[in-house]
Amino acid sequence: KAGVTQTPRYLIKTRGQQVTLSCSPISGHRSVSWYQQTPGQGLQFLFEYFSETQRNKGNFPGRFSGRQFSNSRSEMNVSTLELGDSALYLCASSLTGGNNEQFFGPGTRLTVL
């Protein structure tokens, strides 16, 4: 069964721009979570979507948003990019979220110049 895919894998943007990242979960998985990973900061939870609804949200500013489609694919958007947004953005899918095992995608490496 195909794993979690994320596109694009690498992205370079400049401050002030906006970006949209995409995540396709494993077939049958209805929960998609997004994480931001920076050196030394571990995995910072952004939000979780389940059945097209945002079910949990981390402590990130409103510039970070997301959505989930009926086929469980998810997108996250970051507007008005700042230098500090440079990070690896990981999405993870699971059957129903919560304490289910999470399957991570390869991530999107975002660099903001």
Binding site for other proteins (CB under 8 A): 33, 35, 40-43, 45, 48, 55-56, 59, 90, 92, 97-99, 101-107
**Residue 75 · residue 25 · CB < 8 Å:** no
Q: How far is the CB of 16 from other proteins (least distance, A)?
A: 29
Toward other proteins, which CB reaches closer, 16 or 98?
A: 98
Toward other proteins, which CB reaches closer, 19 or 49?
A: 49
**In the chain, how long is the greatest CA-to-CA distance?**
39
Does residue 106 have a cis bond before it (omega within 30 degrees)? Answer: no
